[in-house]
Structures are given as C-alpha cells and as structure tokens.
C-alpha cells in the first residue's frame, strides 16, 4: 500500500486491516484534527503536526505504532465518508488479500476472496445432506456446504468426505490453513489438503434440543 495510492485507499486499507468501523475511524481522525487526540476502539489517533491545509497523524494501539500518514484538510471536509467508499474497491481487496497471505483473520467479516492460510474459530449452524460428485481425479466424493457463524457474521464452509462426519450442528470448530474463494459468485471458505477442521467444543444433545 505504499506506492501510488490515495489517502482514501490507504485509510480504507487500515480500517480493514485493524477491523475498525470506517465511520468511527473517519470521525476519530476528524476529532484528532480538532483536539489533537481521539480514540477509535483500541486505537489511538494523534495529530502530530499540522499545517494550514494538511496534518500528520499517528495511529497506535497499546503504545505500539501501527501507522503514520498525512491527510489533507479537504479530505476531512468531504460530506460522504470517503473511507467507506474506498473499502469496496477491487484494489483494496487485492491489497488486503496480499497482506493477509500468511496471517490469520480472526472473524468472518474480515474474510475476502483470495485470502489464504486462514485460521478461524466458528460454530456450526447447518450441515446439508452431502452430495456425491465425480471429481477431476476420476473418483467419487461426498461434499457439503455447511454454514458456520461467529459474532461477526456467517459464511459457507465447503466440507469433503470424512470432514462432514467429523462435526455436528452446534459444535464449535477450529479451522486451520483454509482459503477464501468464490463459487458461482458466492464467497466460500475452503479447506485445502494442508488444512483441517477440528472440534474444540462439542454441543451436548440436550443443548441442541433446547
């Protein structure tokens, strides 16, 4: 994100990377312009130096420096939040995918198509009846697109063969080394040959009935 990106693109990238609401982020930066410091969740935004038409901002979390960036005053005077608008661009999704390659998004709402090496803890909502498919390797396999959820959202999880029978509705599972893809235009979490899904908390039958 260092070369040839606009202020809006960079701030949109930061809001995605550190999982902050774009409206709260924009308001915190605007407040820091006026009051020198402002909080945005766990983030502290500080105005470190101001000129007539721009200022340098520092973003920290628990005293650790996360980013430093200049912002022109005209950017903060825009009526519509420009950060939110930039979060939907393809460029931001591509950069987020590269930044998250080798890192581990901690919640479903952070997942984007193209991300790899994803570790995620979630709860099994639904496991449809498996479908028998003929694979490109010349054999038959069972596949089911389960629905999983956490406190931030829900998404489909593609399961194969013994993965399907290893989990049950209501289980909390740990997904490791998965990747995000699009299937018929719909986002889907997939577990590759080096990934795995394991139960970390089993739902008891009486809890399911209640």
**Domain containing 194 — which CATH number?**
2.40.50.140
Q: Are 29 and 61 within one domain? A: yes
- Determine, yes or no, domain membership for 49: yes
Same domain, 45 and 118: no
pLDDT (0 to 100) of residue 210: 46
- Out of 54, 72, 99, pick the residue that ends a domain: 99
Question: Among 72, 99, 126, where does a domain finish?
Answer: 99
Is residue 136 located within the same domain as residue 202?
yes
Band of pLDDT at residue 205, cut at 50, 70 and 90: low
Note whether 75 and 161 are same-domain residues: no
Nearest partner of 59 among 111, 17, 109, judged by Cα = 17
Task: Please tell me whether residues 146 and 197 are part of one structural domain.
Answer: yes
For residue 57, being part of any structural domain is answered with yes
pLDDT of residue 31: 92
Contact 60, 44 (CB under 8 A): yes
* Tens-digit pLDDT profile for residues 37-77: 999 988 999 999 888 888 999 999 888 898 898 999 888 88
Q: What is the mean pLDDT of residues 150-175?
A: 91
Whether 2 maps to a domain, the answer reads no
Is 1 inside a domain boundary? no
The DSSP symbol for 202 reads P
What pLDDT score does 93 carry? 52
Q: Are residues 32 and 69 in the same domain?
A: yes
Q: What is the pTM of this model?
A: 0.49
- Across 2-31, b (16+ Cβ under 10 Å) vs e yields eeebebbbbbbbbbbbbebebebbbbbbbb
Classify residue 197: in a domain, yes or no: yes
Q: Residues 133, 118: contact at Cβ < 8 Å?
A: no
Domain with 26 in it: 7-99
Confidence of residue 187 (pLDDT cuts 50, 70, 90): confident
Retrieve residue 202's tokens: 């089993």
Higher pLDDT pick, 91 / 154? 154
In a domain, 183, yes or no: yes
In a domain, 91, yes or no: yes
- Specify if 51 maps to a domain: yes
- Overall domain count for the chain: 2
Q: Looking at the structure, do residues 80 and 148 belong to the same domain, yes or no? A: no
pLDDT at 162 over 70: yes
CA distance 138 to 163: 20
């Amino acid at each position: 994100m260092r070369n040839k990106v606009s202020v809006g693109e960079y701030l949109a990238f930061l809001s995605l990377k550190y999982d902050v609401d774009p409206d709260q982020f924009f308001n915190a930066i605007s407040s820091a312009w006026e009051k020198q410091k402002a909080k945005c969740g766990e983030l502290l935004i500080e105005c470190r130096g101001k000129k007539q038409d721009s200022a340098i901002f520092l973003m920290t979390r628990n005293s650790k420096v996360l980013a430093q960036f200049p912002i022109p005053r005209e950017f903060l005077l825009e009526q519509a939040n420009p950060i939110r608008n930039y979060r939907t661009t393809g460029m931001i999704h591509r950069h987020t995918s590269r930044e998250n390659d080798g890192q581990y998004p901690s919640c479903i709402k952070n997942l984007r198509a193209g991300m790899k090496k994803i570790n995620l803890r979630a709860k099994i909502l639904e496991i449809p009846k498996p479908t028998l498919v003929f694979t490109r390797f010349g054999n038959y396999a069972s596949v089911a697109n389960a629905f999983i959820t956490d406190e931030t959202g829900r998404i489909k999880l593609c399961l194969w063969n013994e993965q399907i029978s290893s989990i049950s509705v209501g289980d909390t599972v740990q997904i490791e080394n998965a990747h995000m893809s699009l299937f018929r235009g719909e986002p889907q979490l997939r577990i590759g040959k080096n990934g795995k899904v394991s139960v970390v908390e089993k739902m008891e039958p009486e809890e399911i009935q209640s």
